[in-house]
Structure 1
């Protein structure tokens, strides 16, 4: 999600700890679905990714995953990642360690992944999602390391993936992280809102959709900024109701009352993922209680937006107009 939607810094679990390959501490991370979910993402660069060496592939082959006390590793169980310390690679490498017995995952699906990160230096566990909420990753997302995408492509639910990546630290020192991923689920997320059309109240901004579902908004002449939050469903989906403690996947366009578009996931070409606890109050209050699959018009007064503070291209005390397609909630 674009940073204009954030009302405070949100700690993103693994993403906060995972330095990106080739990305120094002075680089600005580009917000995306993958960074939001915390899965390993590729740093923004125009350079071709480094090719793994024979030594890199040998390091990948040296990793083993075991159950407790060396027992067989059961599905859904957190693995013990075993290797000789001082494992190091010069380029990201990944492989399917073991095949699952579920269905083959498909490009564009959102994968649920359990993940253990360990230090290549001493095999110590850096973090784990086991016992907590799985990470989410979209198969085919171009921000994900190509090596990891290649390993995930054609894999089955239940498969375990081993992924090694060089990581550049704050002082320029490069270390290696060893990651063990388990695909625990996959679901297809729609690309636009689908459901029953809802007749909006008269006098509100008018929303028109093109063939792809991208909205344009016409602000009526003389439209007065509301003092209360306006929540107008335009399409009612048939999915579960969204709760304020969930994260959502959404396509959206945001504009000022003068018609200036300041943010649009449609223009970026990909939906955004974000926690409803980490956005402006107008979004949290406006989307909680709506159904997945719905499209919602929000007209947000300044006190539920950014108040008297300017935010990037949004002036202080601005009323905000959004059209939001709720594609998923988790």
Structure 2
């Protein structure tokens, strides 16, 4: 799979920590919009791009220490910057206060509320308070943020100062934005799909699971489907996945002939979080195929070229490829 980078910062409109190059561990192509499919295959390489990030100076840390955050937890805080414009040269994360809820553990899915403030003038850029919680999957975010959260407790608040650009593009004017993130819940994510087995239709690849649930494939000798195939292999008992949610999955992908090209099962962590499913930074076959499936399910997706990469080559995936995925839907929030 290609390893690509995202040039966007913590976009004020999106208000999601996993959109930021400084905070995420996985990313997609900047030129994705030119593709007839969505931006990438399943994860656009769910492995992180290993580029050295700048290190915060003592002056950066001291400046962030002067940011004042006031207000009760659960309610939108007030953020007062020590000066405007407020800038730092590198990402700085500060624990504002610990919570009184359950301890936050590695690998959990967190529900978070977030406030974003412009370092340029101190004005609020956006807020998910009071009740627009977003999902944050530990293991898929910046390791420094994860270290700050793991071991704390539900209710904890952190302050993040992030050097970005005013318009969220790689070439925009430099600007530091400040975020307050509050953890409102922490949930253990299952490690495999569970539910009632479903009989697949004739002509599809045969999927076999090992003792841990990792799938392998026996290719079909039938003609390739020309339209998207969505075949549940295990029917989970959870709620239906809704457009706009963050979906936590494990997946494996093959070409129609059975050639493997990617599997999250081979990585640590093996789970992968898809933001804004339905319009997420994944191929069209995923955006269309996962919405409406139930949490806990395992789904076989056969993705024709027009809902995958089209006539473009992508790493080891040839142009005009029909793709086969087995996706375990572990959580949606």
Give the shorter-chain TM-score range: 0.7 to 0.9
Query: Per-residue CA shift, 1:34-75, capped at 9, x if unaligned?
Result: xxxxxxxxx84454762541x333323211123xxxxxx233
TM-score norm. by structure 2 comes to 0.74
* Number of aligned positions between the proteins: 297
Match of 1:7?
none
- Structure 2 unaligned runs (5+)? 5-10, 30-47
SS in 1 for 2:278: helix
- If you compute each CA radius of gyration, which structure gives the higher value, 1 or 2? 1
TM-score norm. by structure 1 comes to 0.74
Match of 1:57 among 54, 57, 61: 61
Residues 1:245 and 1:118: Cα distance change in structure 2 (over 3 Å): closer
CA distance in 1, matches of 2:286, 2:244: 12
SS in 2 for 1:276: coil
Match of 2:27?
30
CA distance in 1, matches of 2:204, 2:22: 47
SS in 2 for 1:324: strand
| Contact 2:63/2:82, CA 8 A, preserved across alignment | no
How far apart are 1:273 and its partner, in Å? 2.5
CA distance in 1, matches of 2:90, 2:284: 42
| Contact 2:16/2:134, CA 8 A, preserved across alignment | no
CA distance in 2, matches of 1:81, 1:96: 14
Matched, 1:192 2:192: yes
Alignment of 1:150-189 (within 5 A): 150-167=147-164, 170=170, 175-189=175-189
- Structure 1 unaligned runs (5+)? 5-10, 23-28, 33-42, 67-72
How far apart are 1:238 and its partner, in Å? 2.1
| Contact 1:195/1:294, CA 8 A, preserved across alignment | yes
Residues 1:171 and 1:320: Cα distance change in structure 2 (over 3 Å): closer
How far apart are 1:306 and its partner, in Å? 5.0
Match of 2:294 among 286, 291, 306: 291
How far apart are 1:325 and its partner, in Å? 0.7
Residues 1:264 and 1:2: Cα distance change in structure 2 (over 3 Å): farther
Residues 1:19 and 1:305: Cα distance change in structure 2 (over 3 Å): closer
How far apart are 1:19 and its partner, in Å? 6.3
Residues 1:216 and 1:248: Cα distance change in structure 2 (over 3 Å): same
CA distance in 1, matches of 2:51, 2:3: 22
CA distance in 2, matches of 1:306, 1:166: 33
CA distance in 1, matches of 2:61, 2:246: 37
Alignment of 1:1-330 (within 5 A): 13-14=14-15, 20=21, 30-31=27-28, 44-45=49-50, 47=52, 50=55, 52-53=57-58, 55-66=59-70, 73-86=71-84, 87-130=86-129, 133-141=132-140, 143-146=141-144, 148-167=145-164, 170=170, 175-220=175-220, 222-269=221-268, 270-274=270-274, 275-278=276-279, 279-305=282-308, 309-312=311-314, 313-315=316-318, 317-330=320-333
How far apart are 1:323 and its partner, in Å? 0.9
CA distance in 2, matches of 1:277, 1:162: 30
CA distance in 1, matches of 2:21, 2:302: 37
Residues 1:230 and 1:122: Cα distance change in structure 2 (over 3 Å): closer
